[in-house]
Structure 1
Amino acid sequence: MFFTVAASAPLTALAGGVTTAYAVSGNQGVPLAFLVVSVALALFAVGYVAMSRHVASAGAFYAYLARGIGRPAGVAGAFVALVSYNSIQVGLYGLFGSTVSNFAAEAFGLRMPWWIWALLAMGTVAALGLLRVDLNARVLAVLLIAEVAVVAAFDIIGFARPAEGVVTTAPLMPSTLLAGGLGAAIAFTVASFTGFESGAIYSEEARDPYRAVGRATLIAIVFIGSFYALSSWAVVAATGARRLQERASTEGPALIIRPLADAFGPIVADLATALLLGSVFAALLSFHNSVARYLLVLGRERVLPEKLSSIGGRSGAPVAGSIAQSTLALVVVAGFAIADADPMLTLFSWSSGLAALGVVLLLAGTSVAVIGFFRHSSVVSPTLVWSRTIAPALAATLLLTFLVVMVVNFDSLLGVAPSSPIRWLLAVTVLAAALGGAVWALYLRGFRPDVYADIGGAVRAPKFDKPSIYWHHTNEAASAPRPESAPVPQEESTSILPRLDSDS
């Protein structure tokens, strides 16, 4: 649970996502949005965890969609994931550069453009990506405790010293959330949850993966939803409803840091800033590695050029994927810098909105894939029907509703006029990625059937301290899930451990 919550970076979510949500939308119902989205994600997690016990792949949603809906859906999901995770990663450079620029100017009188700091961070991330360096999960857990302590301190200040003398419950009212800017509020809320799905990667280290992973994921969602709702409510209290959008637009992350400085002194404020920068940098490195590994898997399965599967001889890092991600980030950040765009209200805001659209589409598609994956199961236990059909169906319905709301209100997220073509350009980017992936898969089916046959299958996993469970399929029949009672044919299973379900 600690590792899963750490992936969503509480301080980054509050100082970056929540303040920007208030700045671009003016919607003070963000606290309620966190509670609503957490319900949908809890339903999603029920089916996601159930399927994660049967499918293990470095391609994540790519493999889930391919196994549950079909290979074209898998490639479409992979392309959407690449757009989404690249968007999140690139947008965080705007948050990092802006925060460091303001901090250096106030603390040391060193005034440099935000994009210089962003480029320095980019170079460091690129180097660490080539060396296959990632932050240890236990280190992240320690940092998480410090982050939560800082955010909790801010919450206490906000509720104890409300700017307007009273703490209003308006941010928890449905009428407030529906008043305007709903799409932006939902988008930044979804983006703040990104990383909650990472619990399944620790399944091999758990004593009882069937129970531990599911419990950790659900507890993390409940914690993130309630804690972020409370903290975003504290922002309204500490800032004041009347000036919330104005101050959020001009101060950004300082909206969180300054009350800490006023209450506890500059040392605590500097510590909070350092934790924020560390949190953002960890997220930059994490999403960089995620994109590089998506490219590695797609190159390895020859869905994309096979050169993308090249790895470092000593480090084993996905070198080609890492270079490709760094190059794309450089081009986008340079474009925003040349345009002299605001790093928070354009780069971070637009990228987060684009990423949120893609993530919601992926989550909805994966919920449908769970139903498809288990559709041949002969087990009729009410518990399994809930996790394999009912919960995923409810999750897909809610998530698709979120998607429609976000697209309809996308202009408020971008801060542009409803008639602006930018509103539709960014939204269509996600749709184009999905359609492009599906069309490319159909091309492979017709002209490169050997490549098409391996889409969504896991190749032999590298050797770690503990053995991995994996599955390889080469045809449609093999990709269909078997009834629980059916044995696994030896020629189709490359597992080096017995299956972990109770009937094995």
Structure 2
Amino acid sequence: MPTGRTTDIRTYKGQSTARSRAHGHGQRRRLRAGRIGTPGLLVSVVAASAPLMSTAGVMPATYGTMGVTAQPLLFAGLGLVLLLFTTGYAEMSRHVHNAGAFYAYIARGLGGTAGAAASVVALVSYSALQFAIYGIFGYELSGLLGQHLGATVPWWLPALGAVAAVGALGWLKIDLSARLLGVLLLAECAMLLAFVVAGTGSPGPDGLSFQALSPAGLHSTALGAALGLTMASFVGFEQAAVYAEETSRPHVTVARVTLLAVTFVGCFLALACWAVSVAAGPSRVVAAARDLGPGLLFTLAEDRLGTGFTTALHVFYLTGMFAALLSFHNVVARYAFAMGREGLLPAAVSRTSRTSGAPAHGSLLQSAVSLAAVAVFALTDDRPGGDPTTPVQRLFAWMGAIGALGVILLMAATAAAVIAFFVRRGAARALAPRLAATAVAGTALLAVAVRTVGDFPALLDDDPVPGLRWALPGAIGAAVAAGLAHGLLLKARRPEVHARIGLGNEAFQLDQLDRLDRLERNG
């Protein structure tokens, strides 16, 4: 007697095949696992902090513009705050593995709408930091070409070349990028260590002094700006979570690398900062920084180690910036990939390269946006008249200030999200010490953000552009507003997409299965 069983079995087999294809398609929207281990991930993360760029750029600005002579204490103090932050952040990384990192954590802790807002802020902030480095990279390379080859090259040509090179490397396997970053980072750190030994072994007129470690040197009307600049030197340590899907043991590797990165950056930069103070002399370092600017490090190094070493230091200054560019590019590409996979950006952005497994379309998008940013500032290269350095200086100062503020706010929001996530899971008592440390760090980060906004004129070196003091931090406010509006719109019109913000590859697979279910019901 016919029962229709054969038809049911055929249908079941068809559904199983379709679901298997959906699962396979979902895997293609997944970053390839096992590509990067602890050493590779550590160098990728630390490279973003660009130790040599921090020493040559951030430290002279903090000494000269803000007049903070106890700058090593800023690195030590903020390093401690970030270690407290890391206790909860690293614990969260054991439970949530998503290339969206910050926004995924915020979505899982504070809801999809907050996650959508965080995703836009993350894209804007990390992109802005990358734009800033493109500007200073182009300016420094054009200067070296003029000095050693007599070639007159506008800053934007090397910057555009860097956009192309970084974009090409971003398309390749992450393990290849990690090897390149590792070589550049080791060379950069070796050069800095050589300077530390020379600077402290041959101190300035004040001798081997520890005056830079006196809290009295923290008194400054622009302390908030100094904190913001110093925090920018740490940006990158939090990126380990972005690569969680590409490690073999994310629940172990991400937490370990995050702790190692923030410890290394804090200790290494505090040591380098103290060496700069000793070499220049604590009583003279502020005046020297005002006169020499980024040239302070190179002048001090040349006096002790000679012209050949200083030339090599300039080269590794550039390679360090390039390493930071590549690191930020990889992170932004993965954020865009994660957003495309979860419906926050067009789905095409979430496609990966079939050969390398890298987030190819996210990388292309970031390259295009970087190209546009450099082009905008290059088009103003002749204004104001007689000052061709103004566009690149503004590109570095404006974008750097926006990016640093955005990342600080993301960290503060992530601290709140981590606490909410574990409280809702009933783990508050078991994780009480870690959550308390996270709360302290989040409060401190929020205070740094407020002080940074208040001292924005010092960060911008009193740029005369009308309304700039509020327009630049307003860019982060606009990103928050746009992200919230996008999240609320998704919640109203596509609630199934909104509910999956922060779920990572699981969100894509659920979406594919939902589509199949709808087809089955209609067919």
- Per the TM superposition, whether the score is higher than 0.5 is yes
Distance, in Å, in 1 between the alignment partners of 2:370 and 2:134 is 9
The 5 A counterparts of 1:453-468 are 453-460=499-506
SS of 2:263's partner is: helix
| Equivalent of 2:305 in 261, 264, 271 | 264
Partner of 1:364: 412
For 1:10 and 1:414, the matched residues in 2 are separated by 22
Q: TM-score, normalised by structure 2?
A: 0.80
1:25-66 per-position Cα deviation (integer Å, ceiling 9, x unaligned): 343332221111111100110000101000001111111000
The residue that corresponds to 1:178 in the other structure is: 219
Residues in 2 aligned to 1:167 and 1:306: alpha-carbon distance in whole angstroms: 59
Amino acid at match of 1:360: I
Instruction: Give me the whole-angstrom Cα distance separating, in 1, the residues matched to 2:254 and 2:477.
Output: 32
The verdict on how the C-alpha distance between 1:110 and 1:247 changes in structure 2, with shifts beyond 3 A counting, is farther
One-letter code of the match for 1:429?
A
| Number of positions where the alignment pairs a residue of Structure 1 with one of Structure 2 | 463
Q: Give the equivalent residue in structure 1 for 2:71.
A: 30
Residue type matched to 1:153 in 2?
A
Between the aligned partners of 1:284 and 1:252, the Cα distance in structure 2 is 22
CA, structure 1 residues 43+118, in 2 after alignment: closer, same or farther (shift >3 Å)?
Answer: same
Q: Are positions 1:16 and 2:57 aligned together? A: yes
- In the other structure, the counterpart of 2:432 is 385
CA-CA distance at 1:421 after TM superposition: 1.0
> How far, CA to CA, are the matches of 1:137 and 1:209 in structure 2?
17
Task: Sort the Cα spacing of 1:95 and 1:20 in 2 relative to 1 into closer, same or farther, 3 A.
Answer: farther
One-letter code of the match for 2:142?
S
- Please give the alpha-carbon distance, in whole angstroms, between the structure 2 residues aligned to 1:206 and 1:413: 37
Question: 1:95 is aligned with what amino acid?
Answer: I
Q: Distance in 1 between matches of 2:215 and 2:394?
A: 28
8 A Cα contact 1:300 1:306, kept in partner: yes
Q: Does 2:188 match 1:147?
A: yes
Distance across 2 between alignment mates of 1:229 and 1:271: 23
Return the alpha-carbon distance in structure 1 between the equivalents of residues 489 and 498 of structure 2: 9
Higher fraction of helix: 2
- CA–CA separation in structure 2 for the residues paired with 1:234 and 1:17: 14
2:234 counterpart residue number = 193
Larger mean CA deviation between 40-49 and 9-18 belongs to: 9-18
2:108 counterpart letter in structure 1: R
Contact 2:199/2:301, CA 8 A, preserved across alignment: no
Looking at structure 1, the residues matched to 248 and 168 of structure 2 have their Cα atoms a distance apart, in angstroms, of 35
* 8 Å Cα contact 1:293/1:321 also seen in 2: yes
Picking from 110, 115, 125, the partner of 2:151 is: 110
Write the deviation string for residues 138-193 of structure 1: whole angstroms up to 9, x where unpaired: 44334433322211222233333334333554433333223132122111211111
- Aligned to 1:437, which of 474, 479, 483? 483
Q: Which of the two has higher C-alpha Rg?
A: 2
Give the CA deviation at 1:354: 1.1
Give ranges in structure 1 of 5+ residues lacking alignment: 461-469, 475-504
1:162-177 pair list within 5 angstroms: 162-177=203-218
TM-score (norm 1): 0.83
Q: Which amino acid aligns with 1:385?
A: A
- Cα distance in 2 for partners of 1:313, 1:209 equals 23
Which residue number corresponds to residue 411 of structure 1?
457
SS in structure 2 at match of 1:374: helix
Q: Measure, in 1, the Cα distance between the counterparts of 2:290 and 2:392.
A: 9
Matched, 1:352 2:400: yes
Return the letter of the residue paired with 1:290.
V
Match of 1:395 in 2: 441
Residues 386 and 211 (structure 1 numbering): CA distance in 2 closer, same or farther, change over 3 Å?
farther
Which letter does structure 1 place at the counterpart of 2:433? W
For 1:225 and 1:193, locate their aligned partners in 2 and report how far apart those are by CA, in whole Å.
8
- What is the CA RMSD across the aligned residues, in angstroms? 3.0
Q: Distance in 1 between matches of 2:418 and 2:79?
A: 19
What is the percent sequence identity of the aligned residues? Answer: 42
Q: Using a 3 Å threshold, how does the CA distance of structure 1 residues 315 and 380 change in structure 2: closer, same or farther? A: closer
After superposition, give the CA deviation of every residue in 1:339-358 in whole Å (9 maximum; x if it has no partner): 43446643222222111100
